[in-house]
Structure 1
Amino acid sequence: MVLGNMRQWLAAWPLAAAASLLYALLFWEGKLYGEAALQLFFVGMAAWGFAQWWRGRSQSALTVRRMPLQAWGWSLGAIALGWPLLGWWLSRHTDSPLPYWDALPTVASVVATVQLGRKFIENWGFWVAVNAVSVVLFALKAYWLTVLLYAAFIPLALWGWREWAHAERGVRAA
């Protein structure tokens, strides 16, 4: 899925939906409700991202580009507000053992997914941060295979960032 996103393959989105459904089950069982809900959100976003990229193929092309200043404000503001609010909600209304650790990558993943769907190159930096926090969260839950997977996502996100930087420069040069 990550490799597909990096290469801007449309097939990455259905793969994301399938993986997210499986992880939703695991996270619900482990009482990581923010992460479980996030996975269901990812299923919906996979349909949206697929449509964004598909429409970009048939109308004016959706190209890799830099986030405008306003998108930076929305992205950082959503994380700054959403993380403590979701953490508080999880701590009050669920039996989550790590509500704030669960909330941060959940909220930041929502932001990064929207950025990915809009082909903002900066999504990859957000994914590096999300994956680093997720490695800690999943280690605290002793989900060792998931720790390895998310640790592997970090260099993949860096690679994706590099690939999209080349694509963005190629579009600007054209």
Structure 2
Amino acid sequence: MLIEAWLEPAASALALAYLVLAIRERRSCFLVAIASAGLYIVIFWRASLLMESALQWVYIAVSLYGWKQWGSDAGKDRLPVTTKPWRWHLVALASIAVLAGVSGGLLTRYTSAALPFLDATTTIAAVLATWMVARKILENWLYWIAIDLLSIYLYLSRGLDLTAALFAGYVVLAAVGYWQWRKHLANHSV
């Protein structure tokens, strides 16, 4: 199957390109994200990671939203990097836990999903983190570090070694993204 041979490498390459462009605050990152998500819908469905497959549809929708929100790459309509107070993050984390618990329970009861609670946790957290990227909220990168670390195990358990390796790289790039956006925030807060 020729399509099988290139599907995961192509999706991984596009996903990596998306992250590099997002770190650089390039609006085109969202177009690359849409292409990557389209491929990962198929990959995750075939690996019985149902929530991860569904998440790709959310990525496509939020990428369209992010494209609009970010405005141009330069100019006064460019969306600035912002931050949220710790109380906002406590509510966000509690919401992730509740929604992941409910989703994981439903997946366990009604589907053959692999690792349903972990799949649900990474998916629910990724929805929030993706929205945070679209709004240029600095802490999105910290959420991604945690999500990516959990995802490495999830993908290795399903034989998606290339995607697991990509997510190991994502941990490093998310740290870089955090420091880049933090520097941008500090430079533009003066």
With normalisation by structure 2, the TM-score equals 0.86
Q: CA deviation at 1:136?
A: 0.5
Name the counterpart of 1:134: 151
- The residue type equivalent to 1:114 in the other structure is W
Q: CA deviation at 1:78?
A: 2.2
Q: CA deviation at 1:13?
A: 0.4
Q: CA deviation at 1:73?
A: 3.9
Name the counterpart of 1:47: 64
Name the counterpart of 1:18: 35
- The residue type equivalent to 1:41 in the other structure is V
How far, CA to CA, are the matches of 2:135 and 2:86 in structure 1? 15
Tell me the number of residue pairs that the alignment of Structure 1 and Structure 2 aligns.
173
CA contact (8 A) 2:25 2:73 kept: no
- The residue type equivalent to 1:54 in the other structure is G
How far, CA to CA, are the matches of 1:9 and 1:158 in structure 2? 18
Q: What secondary structure sits across from 1:142 in the alignment?
A: coil
RMSD: 1.7
Name the counterpart of 1:99: 116
What are the residue-to-residue correspondences of 1:74-153 with 2, within 5 Å? 74-153=91-170
CA contact (8 A) 1:78 1:111 kept: no
Name the counterpart of 1:170: 187
CA contact (8 A) 1:38 1:106 kept: yes
Cα gap change, 1:19/1:161 in structure 2, threshold over 3 Å: closer, same or farther?
same
How far, CA to CA, are the matches of 1:60 and 1:82 in structure 2? 35
Q: CA deviation at 1:57?
A: 6.6
- The residue type equivalent to 1:127 in the other structure is W
Mean CA deviation greater in 149-158 or 75-84 = 75-84
CA contact (8 A) 2:119 2:154 kept: yes
Mean CA deviation greater in 22-31 or 74-83 = 74-83
How far, CA to CA, are the matches of 2:90 and 2:76 in structure 1? 28
How far, CA to CA, are the matches of 2:187 and 2:37 in structure 1? 32
How far, CA to CA, are the matches of 2:32 and 2:91 in structure 1? 28
How far, CA to CA, are the matches of 2:91 and 2:75 in structure 1? 28
How far, CA to CA, are the matches of 2:94 and 2:162 in structure 1? 32
Seq. identity, %: 29
With normalisation by structure 1, the TM-score equals 0.93
Q: CA deviation at 1:111?
A: 0.9
- The residue type equivalent to 2:140 in the other structure is N
CA deviation vs aligned residue, 1:129-173 (integer Å, no higher than 9, x gap): 000000010011121111111111110000000100100001111
Q: Which structure 2 residue ranges, 5 or more long, are not aligned? A: 1-17
Q: Which structure 1 residue ranges, 5 or more long, are not aligned? A: none
